[in-house]
């Protein structure tokens, strides 16, 4: 079977995501991180793993704050979730694995913002919260060009009315593809 793209040039964080998903889909087994992990894998941070197929979103799951002991474990957990638990999509199957494109975003700690002027949809992701509801949108997404669009989409994801006031936090990401 011919591969849809070359995987050899991927960053180690993306290689870990690919290995986690492929092992889980093919063998239903959760991998362990490599023993000699890169420094950025040993840190603690929130991580989002997004999958695309033919340029279209195929799954994206993440954590805005760390939930495991390090980025390596965060990538493994969120990779498998992006492939199998994103409620917007059916579970990834073996036939799709060769045609997926991966991105791994490692998030900076969220910081509160007082106004929309402190946001920039190309540079910062946004977290909106009201009561117990929270919505997050990553930065630099195709078709999201204004702060207003970014906040509106995050509110929609959280089930927060457009007119409802929210607390805002911003964060930066290091994106690996």
pLDDT at 7 over 60: no
Distance CA 77, CA 85 (A): 11
- Give pLDDT, residue 51: 98
Distance CA 131, CA 151 (A): 16
Tell me the CA distances in angstroms from 124 to 25, 49, 103, one per residue in order. Answer: 32, 17, 17
Q: Domain spanning 12-107: which CATH class is it, in words?
A: alpha beta
Q: Domain-by-domain residue ranges, the chain?
A: 12-107, 111-176
Q: Residues 122-138: what's their mean pLDDT?
A: 96
Phi, psi (degrees; rounded to nearest 5) at 151:
-65, -40
Q: Which fold has domain 111-176?
A: Dna Ligase; domain 1 (3.30.1490)
pLDDT of 73-104, one tens digit each? 999 999 999 999 999 999 999 999 999 999 99
Global pTM reads: 0.90
Q: Are 33 and 19 in contact (CB under 8 A)?
A: no
Same fold, 12-107 and 111-176: no
């Amino acid at each position: 079977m011919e591969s849809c793209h070359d995987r050899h040039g991927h960053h180690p964080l993306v290689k870990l995501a690919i290995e986690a998903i492929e092992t889980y889909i093919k063998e239903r087994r959760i991998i362990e991180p490599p023993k000699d992990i890169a420094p950025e894998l040993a840190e603690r941070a929130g991580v989002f793993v997004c999958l695309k197929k033919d340029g279209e979103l195929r799954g994206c799951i993440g954590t805005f704050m760390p939930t495991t002991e390090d980025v390596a474990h965060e990538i493994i957990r969120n990779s498998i979730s992006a492939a199998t638990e994103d409620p917007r999509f059916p579970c990834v199957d073996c036939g799709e694995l060769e045609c997926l494109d991966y991105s791994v975003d490692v998030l900076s700690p969220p910081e509160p913002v007082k106004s929309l002027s402190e946001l920039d949809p190309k540079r910062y992701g946004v977290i909106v919260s009201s009561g117990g509801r929270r919505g997050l949108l990553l930065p630099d997404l195709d078709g999201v060009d204004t702060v207003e669009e970014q906040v509106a989409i995050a509110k929609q994801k959280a089930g927060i009315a457009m007119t409802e006031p929210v607390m805002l936090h911003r964060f930066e990401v290091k994106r690996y593809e």
